[in-house]
Amino acid sequence: MYDFRMSRSELLELIRSDAGAEKGKFFLKVAKKLLISNSFKLILNYRLGYFFQTRGNAWLCKLLKHRQIKRHSCQISYKAKIGKKISFPHPIAIVIGDGVQIADRVKIWQQVTIGSHGKAGTDLQYPKIGSGVRIFTGAVVIGDVQLGENSTVGALSLVTRDVAPNSTVAGAPAKPIR
Summarised one tens digit per residue, pLDDT across range 22-81 is 566 777 778 888 888 899 999 999 999 999 998 888 899 999 999 999 988 999 999 999
Determine phi and psi for 152, rounding to 5 degrees.
-130, 135
pLDDT at 143: 94
Percent of the chain with pLDDT over 90: 69
Q: Are 112 and 91 in contact (CB under 8 A)?
A: no
Using CA atoms, how far apart are residues 172 and 34, in angstroms rounded to an integer? 37
Q: CATH fold of 8-177, please?
A: UDP N-Acetylglucosamine Acyltransferase; domain 1 (2.160.10)
Using CA atoms, how far apart are residues 3 and 123, in angstroms rounded to an integer? 23
Domain boundaries, the chain: 8-177
pLDDT at 121: 67
The answer, yes or no, to whether residue 131 has pLDDT greater than 80, is yes
pLDDT at 21: 59
Distances in Å between the alpha carbon of 156 and those of 21, 33, 67, 111?
A: 34, 29, 27, 9
As a whole number, the mean pLDDT across the chain is 90
pLDDT at 3: 44
* pTM beyond 0.85, yes or no: yes
- At residue 5, what is the residue type? R
Using CA atoms, how far apart are residues 138 and 132, in angstroms rounded to an integer? 19
